[in-house]
A and B are shown apart, each in its own frame.
Chain A
Amino acid sequence: MSLIRVEYLKKEYNGSAEKVAAINDISLDIEQGEFIAVMGPSGSGKSTLLSILGGLNHPTNGKVVVDDIDLYSLSTERLADFRREYLGFVFQSFHLIPYLTVAENVMLPLAVTSYSSANQLGMAMAILEKVNLEKKAKRLPDELSGGEQERVAIARALVNQPPIVLADEPTGNLDTATSQEVMKLFQSLNAEGQTIIMVTHNPENVKYVQRCINLRDGRIEAESYRCPTVEK
């Protein structure tokens, strides 16, 4: 059975004259352990799809079922609990909290769990070790390079061991070398069984993934286990 099942998904926004469909009748199955790239030109609906998969954006029609849980039948608060238990988010702009140290940023998802502070720190340090940032645990985000900040964001997404990681343009603000470093990190996580869904513009990134889903005008234009070059 699929880990994520998307059925007849539609998301419309109110345009100036008429409704605009950002997502138009998308159905999709994602298995556990897959590493998927969602691609497409700007305005194709990539980020909207990711936000709907992440339980952040109510669809106009259709449903998203994760591990047999129909996401949008949940209450707002239960949906927050779902995100905490099932999802890890990696944002393009990292979105680290500037007044928290690296370790505290990583511990953030655990702040509303019953883990003791010592346990939280242990979990954060373990994951920071995995992304080679354990020595910078006490630094503030603005004392780190872009690549390091991205790795902190990835550590934060992984600290509560979520089954799914959603990454929105994770290399969008990084140089080529750092981008490759981050993609290799994703690849190694995926090799350990982590399901990763990544929105990307970067054609270089597709070589690390198993499946590519190409969107255009809110629809799946192409879906392939041999990813094509993406239009910029």
Chain B
Amino acid sequence: MIEIKNLSIDLDDFFLRNINLTIGDREYFVILGPTGAGKTVLIECIAGLHRIRQGKIWIDGNNATHLAPEERSIGYVPQDYVLFPFLNVADNIAFGLRQAKYPKTDIEEKVKTLVNLMGVSHLLHRDTRSLSGGEKQRVALARALALSPKVLLLDEPLSSLDLQTSKYLRLELRRIHKELGISTLHITHNQVEAEEVADRIGILNMGKLEQVGKPREVFFYPESKIVADFTGAPNILDCDYCRTVGRGLTEVSCGGLRVVLPHDGGRVERIALFPRDIYISAAQPPGPQVNRFKGTITNIKSSGATVRLGVEVGENTLQAEMPHDIFEDMDLTVGKEVFLILKLRRIRVFEGKDSR
């Protein structure tokens, strides 16, 4: 368990302001934030790599605020893994065990268990510089776990991997976490990664912890514009009516907007849809009029390659996004009537605060 109370720190380029956070036993906690938010500084503070003058940190019930890194019982996997290039895979994993003067047979046994857990037993005698990104990540994880630390700190563990490996390793991280039951703090700037692995998420921005909650809570109930923007500024609609229409579909009503969505569970409390998943058409689209609405453009905002439009539909104003060149071709102006088409499969559903 990690407890952080009123932690503030000022470094040259980064800072943290009054961080209060508790990460429970066996919890997988993800700090999500943009580049420069102070995520790495936070993890380094917990690892004991910065002198703390304001605030306190407890690790597993012990006040670790002023303890040296070697006294904290933490497993730390820095970004890019930082494997020792002068040692092979087995010696990297055994480094901490040798440092703690474990008997040779125990070291061999423990290394064997760890490489089996990480699925890298075939790499034992390899030079670490010849490993792929995914292999390096596993070896770094094995090295960090060798001393059975009380908490595991992962600094952007998947950011330097290709998408496929990253997706696979997300599952692996969850599996290893489940198997070992160790409190884990994982930092990332990738919202999808955070949602997939986290028990709870904390959004960090400009050194400040903006919101802490379960991934779907943070997504559907952003407490500030900063949090909403960071999660992709989705359109979030409260549902006042909900009925199952069969074949895995549910119809909901959100402020007069009747939306059909793929859902076959409990009552839908909120729905969300990213602006990029709403199409705009100047003419009425043909076919069944499901999830198609007529509205009036209330504002137009250009940002880079895309244009964002606010469209008033009944009681709601939906944000839609389209590429700049298409916007130019359509000759859209404020006050013009348009038709909105919601992408059925992209609508996200929130059943209630107890659901994950």
- Is B a genuine binding partner of A? no
